[in-house]
Amino acid sequence: PTKIEFETSYLESEAISLCKSCLEDKASSEMSNLLLSPIMILENSPFYNIPLAVRFKGDLNLDILEKCINEIIDRHETLRTTFQTIDEDPCQIIHPFASRKIHVVDISRLPKEDREKEIHRLAQNEARTPFNLQAGPLFRAKIIHVGDNDHVVLTNMHHIISDGWSM
């Protein structure tokens, strides 16, 4: 794909580049439209979400985990990408890295018998929350503090930036 550099004043976000494969190859543009149109139509649906919950038992340094998640976001452009329709063609916008604060939900004060239900409720809510392909981000992470040495990390990404196999 061809990359076009834009000054940040042209876009609301500080996007660094816009990829339009259609500039040189009309067939490529039509294929992109064919593949991305159903996803763009269903952008406010959780149908394309790829949620994941991982439980950590033991000592977990939340600062280091947050730094690791941010390092992954920094290294992988797809985790910093949003999608716009420009001249009726779907286009990806790759944003510069900006460190994210990972939200921590503390449920440790709940009675032990209610914590598992709350973990499932929070995980279901995250899995059902749709992504906005234009505003992003298309990757989210949240940490549930269940108790001493007990955490659940919830991640969710839109299928447009991941195939699931890579996970």
pLDDT, one tens digit per residue, over 12-30 is 333 334 444 434 444 455 5
Give the least confident one: 39-48, 54-63, 100-109, 130-139: 39-48
26: region left, alpha or beta (phi > 0 left; psi from -120 to 50 alpha): alpha
Average pLDDT over residues 144-150: 95
3 touches 9 (CB < 8 A): no
State the residue for tokens 């196999």. Answer: 165
pLDDT band at 42 (very low <50, low <70, confident <90, very high): low
| Beta-sheet pairing, 2-5 with 17-20 | antiparallel
Would the CA dihedral through 136, 162, 102, 68 be positive or negative? negative
CA distances in angstroms from 88 to 20, 29, 40, 140, listed in the order given: 11, 10, 12, 28
Give the least confident one: 30-34, 88-92, 154-158: 30-34
26 touches 106 (CB < 8 A): no
- Residue type, position 36, single letter: L
pLDDT band at 88 (very low <50, low <70, confident <90, very high): confident
CA distances in angstroms from 41 to 82, 85, 97, listed in the order given: 15, 11, 27
151 touches 66 (CB < 8 A): no
The CA distance from 6 to 18, in Å, is 8
Question: Which tokens sit at 145?
Answer: 């503090």
pLDDT band at 80 (very low <50, low <70, confident <90, very high): very high
39 touches 58 (CB < 8 A): no
pLDDT band at 38 (very low <50, low <70, confident <90, very high): low
Is the pLDDT score of 98 beyond 50?
A: yes
66 touches 141 (CB < 8 A): no
pTM of the model: 0.76
